[in-house]
Chains A and B, each alone.
Chain A
Amino acid sequence: MIAIVDYDAGNICSVANALERLGAEYVLSSDPETILAADKVILPGVGNAAEAMKSLRDKGLDKLVKSLRKPVLGICVGMQLMCRHSEEDDAQCLGIFDTDVLRFRAAPDAKVPHMGWNSISNLDGKIFKGVPEGSFVYFVHSYYPALCTDTIATCRHGDTMFSAALKYENFIGTQFHPEKSGDTGETILRNFLGK
C-alpha cells in the first residue's frame, strides 16, 4: 500500500491518477498511523513552499515524514520541503537533503517559471533504471534545489544547472513531475513502486 500524503498542498489527484494507471494500491491520507502503516510514501506538492511547509507542520507531519525509514518520494514542492531551506518566503524545511532551494533569475533564454519538458543527465541509481541519459521530463517551477552530494540527476535551465532529483538513504525527491512526464515518468514511478 502506498500512502500519498494529503496535506492541502495543491493538486494531488494527478499523482493518484498516475498510481491508478500503474495498478498500484494507494490511499490519500494525512493520518500518521496510515502513513506509518504504508509500505511506501509519496509527498506531492504544488504551489508555495512556505505555505506547504506550514501545512505539513500544522498537521504534525513534518517530524513524522523525517522519521520515516521506508521509501519516500517527494515530488516538486514535496521534494523542496525535504531540502534544508527555501528562498520562497524564507521557508525552513525538513533538512533531509543537504541543499537549499533557490529562485531562478529570469533571462531571455530562461523564462520563469521553468515550464515544460527538459532533459535530465548524470542519472544515478535504481530510480532511473530503463531511463536513458538525456530523457525529457516535465517541469513546472520557479525555485530549484542547488547541486549537492545528494544529487542523482541534473538539469540545465539557462545558465543554471540544478538538481532534477535527489537521494539520501530511503528518501528520493524529483523536481520534475513523473506523473505528468509521459512514458518516461511512468518508468520512474514504476521503479519507485518496484513494479
Chain B
Amino acid sequence: MVAKRIIPCLDVKNGQVVKGINFEGLREVGDPVEMGAKYSAEGADELVYLDISASAEGRRTFTEIVNRIARRINIPFTVGGGISTLADADRLLGAGADKISVNSAAIARPELINEIAGHYGNQFVVCAIDAKCIDGKWVATTHGGTRLTDRELFSWAHEAQERGAGEILFTSMDHDGTKAGYPCGLYARLCDSLSIPVIASGGAGNIGHIVEVLSAGKADAALAASIFHYGEIGIQELKEELRRNNINVRLL
C-alpha cells in the first residue's frame, strides 16, 4: 500500500526560508537547500517550497534556488507561489521541480490547470485551496485568507480534479496557525469525495493531530512548517509514532 506522506513546507523570501504567523513578523530560519537536505535525511517524503517574495527579483532568486534544490535533493519536491501562466510552470520545471502548486491564479482562471496538466501531466499539478467557514459553508479564499471568492471548497476541488489536478492541498484558514488540530471530519468528507490524493495542511500542534488527520481524517499526506522548523517535532519521531498507530509510513 502506498505510504502516508509527511511533507515539510518551506516559505522562501529573498533566498531564505522564513516563518511568520499570518504573514506578520517574518523570521529567517535558514537556507532552503540546507534545510531541505536535512529534512530529507530525517525521512521527509517530499518537500514543498513556496515563493512568497512577490517581486521580479525574488522570482529570479527562487528559480536559482529551485535549480540548487534539484541538484542536491533526491526526493520529490513541489514549488508554488505566484504561478499564473504556463510559462511560470515551464520555468520551474526547467529548473528541476517535480510538481508545481497553483492557488489564486487557478481560481482567477481555472483553465490554467488544464493548460499545465495538458502539457506536463496531472502528476505535475497540485491545486492548493485555502478555505474558511462562512455561515456553515466552506469558501475558498485568496491572499492568505483575506479575500473571499465565490468558490465553494467541494465544488472547486472537484472542478480542479476534473481539469487535471493530480492532488489537492487543502488548508483550513480557520485552523492554520492555531496549533489546535485539523478539521478531521471535513477532511474525511473531502477525501471520500475525490479520486485524487489530498494533502492536509495547517493546524498541527502535536503528533496526535497528525495521527488523527491521517487516520480519521483519511488524508493521504500531512504538510507542516513551523512544528518542523522549530524542532518541536522531529520527522523520525513523528513517523515512528504514526507506525505505532498502524499508519503505513516509510521509515528510513
Contacts and interface: CB of A to CB of B under 8 A. Distances in A.
B2 A157 contact: yes
Residue among B75, B120, B220 with most chain A CB within 10 A = B75
B94 A13 contact: yes
B51 interface: no
Interface residues of B, number: 31
Nearest to B75: A182
Nearest to A11: B93
Given A13-B70, A17-B96, A115 B2 contact: yes
A136 B3 contact: yes
B45 A180 contact: no
Contacts of A111: 194-197, 220
Interface string A106-140: 10110111111111000000000000000010111
B96 A113 contact: no
Residue among B76, B120, B166, B221 with most chain A CB within 10 A = B76
B206 interface: no
B93 to A, nearest CB: 6
Contacts of A13: 70, 94, 96
A18 B221 contact: no
A191 interface: no
Contacts, number: 91
Nearest to A47: B121
Contact of A14 (B98, B166, B194, B221): B98
Contacts of A179: 74
Interface string A158-195: 10000000000000000001011111011000000000
B5 interface: yes
B122 interface: yes
A17 B2 contact: no
Interface in B71-122: 71-72, 74-76, 93-94, 96, 98, 120-122
Contacts of A139: 2
B70 A14 contact: yes
Given A113-B196, A180-B76, A181-B74, A140 B221 contact: no
Contacts of A27: none
Contact of B74 (A106, A109, A158, A185): A185
Q: Which 3 pairs show the lowest CB-CB distances between chains A and B?
A: A136-B250, A106-B195, A117-B250
23 contacts: A11-B98, A13-B94, A13-B96, A14-B70, A14-B96, A17-B70, A20-B71, A21-B72, A46-B120, A106-B195, A108-B192, A111-B197, A113-B196, A115-B123, A117-B250, A118-B3, A136-B3, A138-B75, A140-B76, A140-B123, A157-B1, A181-B74, A183-B252
Given A11-B98, A116-B221, A179-B74, 13 more contacts: A13-B94, A46-B120, A48-B121, A112-B195, A116-B3, A117-B2, A118-B3, A119-B3, A136-B250, A142-B122, A158-B1, A182-B40, A182-B252
